[in-house]
Amino acid sequence: MQLSASLREFAGGAASVTVEATSIRELLRKLIERFPRMQRRIDEGVAVSINGEIYRDDRNQQIPDGAEVFLLPRIQGG
């Protein structure tokens, strides 16, 4: 998965990390296991983009094989 620049400091500066996961929930759990500092940032709010579709809340969302996955800051709207 690739990380937005503003999130990289919580993953040791990495622009991308390899995580094996089939759902967003598993992805975030494994990310936190590797980078404990990520816990707080995820609690503050992140979104996961899978093949261009942004998921803010649905941790059950499945991640297809070979999908493009981006970790983004959580967005707000008006």
Binding mask 16-55 toward other proteins (x if CB under 8 A, else -) reads: ----------------------------x----x-xxxxx
Among 25, 58, 62, 64, binds other proteins (CB under 8 A): 58
For residues 77 and 26, give the distance between their C-alpha atoms in angstroms, rounded to a whole number: 27
Answer for the pair 21, 27: CB distance below 8 angstroms, yes or no: yes
Asked whether position 65 contacts other proteins by CB under 8 A, the answer is no
Q: Is 64 in the site for other proteins (CB under 8 A)?
A: no
The Cα–Cα gap between 25 and 76 comes to: 21
